[in-house]
């Protein structure tokens, strides 16, 4: 289980600190598919980076299966079982897809073994296994290859920061299928930052963040209806739960 206790994070802005995450508490249980959503600038991606170890909190505590990982960096957290998929996947000129999957798995997979992971994300393995991870690949292809590396790692917690960003509709539809398979087959937990209704709709739990704090959290069946039906659905839901909390 991932636990965030009284987590805060700020940045220096014009000689004063701007707080992005404020005294946030969150539990992500084992074998859960959790989607974090909320208005732009609310702190969602910052929270993902704090969990991955890219940023360090100014206050609070992060634990994974009871172990305090607050001061551990991204490499140490990866070794403990946290995977992080960037909003814009990194391109590696000169590195083949096969090499990337082997690095993720931390073992010398055969080409056939690596092809299984590519097939799981909907890519024809023979067309990709020896390709370089460079500019010749589309955004959707890169996203699915990155997910294949996450599958190869088989970690306790997989964090995806807005996986739908910068990809076309066809690729997005394929991503939904990939996440549905991950939800049904993975042994670890999945945490996704997203605005997309179709991703929210396959979640076990939805967390709404606004102004650096959680304004709503619960099973999809309880939270999703409040996010739908308005032009600014997430903002509306955040305001609703904020009023409810202050009533």
Gap between the Cα atoms of 74 and 89, Å rounded: 16
N- to C-terminal Cα distance for the chain? Answer: 32
Condensed to tens digits (0 to 9), the pLDDT of residues 116-129 reads 888 888 788 888 88
pLDDT interval class at 68 (50, 70, 90): very high
Distance of CA 38 to the CA centre of its chain: 14
Could you tell me how many helices (H) and strands (E) the chain has, helices first?
10, 12
> Domain spans of the chain?
82-184
CATH for 82-184 (3.20.20.140, 3.40.50.300, 3.40.50.2300, 1.10.3210.10): 3.40.50.300
Cβ(81)–Cβ(157) under 8 Å?
yes
The mean of the pLDDT values for the chain is: 85
Residue-level pLDDT at 34: 96
pTM above 0.85? no
Contact 130, 52 (CB under 8 A): no
- Tell me, what DSSP letter sits at residue 136? T
């Amino acid at each position: 289980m991932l636990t965030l206790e009284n987590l805060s994070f700020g940045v220096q802005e014009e000689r004063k600190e701007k707080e992005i995450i404020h005294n946030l508490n969150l539990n992500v249980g084992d074998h859960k598919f959790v989607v974090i959503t909320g208005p732009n600038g609310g702190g969602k991606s910052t929270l993902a980076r704090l969990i991955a170890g890219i940023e360090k909190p100014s206050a609070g505590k992060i634990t994974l299966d009871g172990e305090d990982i607050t001061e551990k960096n991204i490499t140490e957290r990866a070794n403990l079982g946290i995977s992080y998929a960037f909003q814009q996947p990194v391109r590696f000129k000169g590195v083949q897809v096969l090499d990337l999957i082997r690095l993720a798995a931390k073992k010398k997979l055969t080409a056939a073994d690596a092809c299984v992971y590519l097939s799981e994300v909907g890519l024809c393995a023979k067309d990709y296994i020896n390709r370089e991870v460079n500019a010749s690949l589309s955004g959707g292809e890169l996203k699915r290859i990155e997910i294949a590396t996450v599958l190869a790692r088989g970690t306790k917690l997989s964090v995806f920061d807005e996986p739908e960003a910068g990809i076309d509709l066809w690729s997005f539809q394929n991503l939904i299928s990939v996440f549905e398979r991950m939800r049904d087959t993975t042994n670890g937990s999945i945490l996704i930052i997203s605005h997309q209704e179709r991703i929210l709709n396959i979640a076990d739990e939805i967390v709404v963040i606004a102004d650096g704090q959680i304004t709503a959290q619960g099973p999809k069946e309880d939270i999703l209806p409040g996010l739908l039906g308005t032009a600014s659905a997430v903002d509306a839901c955040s305001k609703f739960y904020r009023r409810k909390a202050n009533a």
